[in-house]
Structure 1
Amino acid sequence: MAVTVFYKDDVIARGQPGDFTQALRDLGPLARSSDLLAFDDDTGRQVDLDLTEPAAPRPRGRPSLGVEAREVTLLPRHWEWLAGQPGGASVTLRKLVEAAMRAGRSERECLDAACRFLTV
């Protein structure tokens, strides 16, 4: 996720949060929390940055790949279709999500992002 960080009215950082987290920590205490604002570059939503120290590395295995298990609720006909796909449900769902992400954002999504940013 790429973000842009503003301190009062100036852009002070742009890019991946991990690239400039230490610089933001070095700013010290702020007079007002609203002096420092961060926005997701894709959605225009204001985001909270985690400025805590990174946790210890996780052990090897599937979780280190970033795989996250969550519940998906589908109709029986959807499960049947997914079961018939090469690789099964998980692989097919990941491929569908990746294809949608590559397709890019619609004009409406771009306008919504701009409105969210301007509202803040």
Structure 2
Amino acid sequence: MDTEPTYTIFLGQQRLRTAPLREVLAALKELHRTTRDPLLVFNDHTGRTIDFDLSGTLDEVLAREAPAPARPGPGRPKLGVVSREVSLLPRHWDWLESHPNGASAALRRLIDEARKADPAAERRRMAILPTDRFLTVMGGDLPGAEEASRALYAGDGAAFRSLVQDWPEDIRLHVLHLSAPAFELEAAT
């Protein structure tokens, strides 16, 4: 079950807002009018910083910045299938093409099976990279940042929490929020 993506606004070390796109854009437009201090906006799903063109009305900004619908072309755009390039060795193509419904269907089935085989590991994997990206930007100069990154990838939640415990509150709380799925297995045992 996919939830609506969230974005987080930071002013220095202070977290101002975490919300879906529309709410974040409305807050950014207001902040743009009231402050000249640099703001950082993070896509919480990817951990990447993102810049928005805030010119125009909120609806105009949202129309520009909302994810574009799949463009017509190869694939089945009405179903959300978008064509991209995949590089494989000839033996891989031969194997894929020998399956019912062709290579694309076989790849989709393999991916779905892998995602379902170990959902906790998939959630962990999907939490590590955005957490590390956020950590690099906001915590990269903080004490223990490299060690925290190592603990994140090692799945050592106790060490990770210990290393970030003295960080500025908003950065610490957000990095713990982003990293929570990475340590679900550890908490369950």
TM-score by length of 2: 0.45
Which residue of 1 is the match for residue 7 of structure 2? 4
Separation in 2 of the partners of 1:114 and 1:31?
27
State the 1:90 CA deviation. Answer: 0.6
Equivalent pairs, count: 113
Task: Say if 1:3 and 1:14, in contact at 8 Å, map to a contact too.
Answer: yes
Task: Say if 1:44 and 1:114, in contact at 8 Å, map to a contact too.
Answer: yes
Task: Say if 2:8 and 2:16, in contact at 8 Å, map to a contact too.
Answer: yes
Which residue of 1 is the match for residue 42 of structure 2? 38
Separation in 2 of the partners of 1:25 and 1:113?
22
Structure 2 residue 23 is the aligned partner of structure 1 residue 20: yes
CA RMSD of aligned residues (A): 3.5
Q: As a proportion of its length, which structure holds more helix? A: 2
Separation in 2 of the partners of 1:94 and 1:74?
15
Q: Which structure is richer in relative contact order (CA contacts within 8 A, separation 6 or more)?
A: 1
TM-score by length of 1: 0.64
State the 1:22 CA deviation. Answer: 4.9
Q: As a proportion of its length, which structure holds more strand? A: 1
Which structure has the bigger radius of gyration? 2
Identity of aligned residues (%): 37
Q: 1:66 to 1:106 in 2, by over 3 A?
A: same
Structure 2: state its 5+ residue gaps.
Answer: 54-60, 138-189
State the 1:62 CA deviation. Answer: 2.9
Structure 2 residue 77 is the aligned partner of structure 1 residue 63: yes
> Cα deviations across residues 48-83 of structure 1 (Å, max 9, x unaligned)?
457442579x78x93232221122221111111111
